[in-house]
Amino acid sequence: MPDLDVVRVQDASLSGATDRDVLEWAAREDRVVVSHDVATLGRSAWERVAAGHPMPGVIQISQALPVGRAIDDLVLIAQCGRPGDLRDRVTYLPL
């Protein structure tokens, strides 16, 4: 299994930050954003892509998805994916 380096928004001093700020930070750090925010984050991500700004990727997880299934899907993405697979994409879980 590949090493996963997870940073919570809280640990990056981004609690309460706007979607745009989180996506900008993620682009600078070359990190994929994983979130339950299916209401606005995806739209902000697509706006970023349309504007030609870098976007390492967003994974949106339904609040209704059981935690174990979400973890299984994230592990599958990490194990089977290649660098760049999620770039400029919004991926929804469950797969």
CA dist., res. 38 & res. 92, Å (int)? 9
pLDDT at 1: 52
Residue 86 domain-assigned?
yes
Residue 5 domain-assigned?
no
- pLDDT tens-digit profile of 62-90? 999 999 999 999 999 999 988 899 999 99
pLDDT reading at 2 higher than 70? no
Residue 78 domain-assigned?
yes
- pLDDT tens-digit profile of 16-33? 999 999 999 999 999 999
Residue 41 domain-assigned?
yes
Q: What is the mean pLDDT of the chain?
A: 93
Angle between helices 19-29 and 41-50 (to 10 degrees): 60
CATH code for the domain of 48: 3.40.50
Q: What is the DSSP letter of 91?
A: E
Structurally, how many domains does the chain consist of? 1
